[in-house]
Amino acid sequence: MKIPSFDLQKIYAQGIPVLILDLLLSLFLFYRIFILLKGTKAIPLLKGLGIVFAFSVVTKRLNLVMLGGLLQYLLGVMVIALPVLFQPELRRVLEELGKNDFFARFFAISPRENYDVVKIIAETAEEMARENKGALIILEREIPLREVAESGQLIDAEVSVVLLKQLFFKDTPLHDGAVIIRGDRITAASCILPLSTRVDLPLSYGTRHRAGVGMSEQSDAIVIIVSEERGKITVVNNGEIRECSKQGELLDYLWAEFAEKNKERITIPKDIFYRKMDS
């Protein structure tokens, strides 16, 4: 397999504006594909392919004929095998490209809608904690959780206190596993999450907490865990664990996280904005 090369003269001949546009579009494409594939089996395989490619370039520069030929052959086999190995991931990327929300991910819902959603989620978690009912809620952000969602039951419903509590009611078929929320919609229920292997977690943490921490370690999602035994609310974000023991603490935390994403859209003072939200 021939290692691709770039004609620098042709690149520079494009002119600075076109060169910048070309670079930005290329970075955008690679970034979106990486985000879509992050958390899937494709990432380790792509890392391996990248290592082999890097060694191939080095061996070509050093004129290591035998090793270079072996790596070239290995690289060719890997490229041919890519469509087979990455079939689910490639299908997922193409599906996302064909959806309207592929680009809509860059445009968050309005601050008012954002606040309404986190208020409902916080209210649900606090009610379930008071009633000693367990819950595991995943708030999806930039990294898509489609693979995790497909491990459970795909649904499409508006976020509400009644529906969330019903999904976690112990006599319903979907009460086991996690609920995934994207924007203002519940997208899946009864989802299976990866368990964390951390040894520093408290002994009081059971499977639900380990699953929540594991999900946070493998994505940028915010995970809300309600303990059935202790009636406590735990939030996990980027692997960091935080217990919300005070009334309204969960709402404050979630709003601080999601308001940061929309801060450029808020043009009025924060205290006035909060008063409008609570009115």
DSSP 181-206: EETTEEEEEEE--PPP--S-S-TT--
Per-residue pLDDT reduced to its tens digit, 78-134: 777 777 766 666 666 665 655 545 444 443 455 556 778 889 999 999 999 999 999
Which amino acid is present at 153? Q
Residue 278 or 272, more confident? 278
Angstrom distance (rounded) from CA 213 to CA 198: 9
Sorted by sequence, the CB contacts under 8 Å of residue 74 that are 6+ apart come out as: 52
How do strand 178-182 and strand 135-140 relate by DSSP bridges?
parallel
Rounded to whole angstroms, the Cα distance separating 115 from 255 reads: 7
What is the C-alpha separation between 211 and 229, in angstroms, rounded?
A: 16
CATH code matching the domain that covers 111-278, chosen among 1.10.1060.10, 3.30.390.50, 3.60.20.10, 3.40.1700.10 = 3.40.1700.10
C-alpha 214/C-alpha 221 separation (Å) is 11
CA separation for the pair 158, 40 (Å, rounded): 27
Query: Chain centroid to CA 267: how far?
Result: 28
Is the pLDDT confidence value at 45 over 90? Answer: no
User: Per-residue pLDDT tens for 187-221?
Assistant: 999 999 988 888 888 888 888 999 999 998 888 89
Handedness of CA 182, 178, 142, 268 (dihedral sign): positive
User: Domain spans of the chain?
Assistant: 8-104, 111-278
Is pLDDT at 266 greater than 70 in this prediction? no
Distances (CA, A) of 264 to 44, 45, 101, 140: 36, 38, 21, 21
Q: Is the pLDDT of residue 154 over 80?
A: yes
145 versus 78: the higher-pLDDT residue is 145
* Buried residues in 236-266 as b, exposed as e (16+ CB within 10 A): bbeeebeebeeeebbbebbbeebbeebeeee
How far apart, in whole angstroms, are the C-alpha atoms of residue 38 and residue 196? 17
Helix (H) or strand (E) holding 106: none
Query: What global pTM score does this model have?
Result: 0.60
Q: What percent of the chain has pLDDT over 90?
A: 24
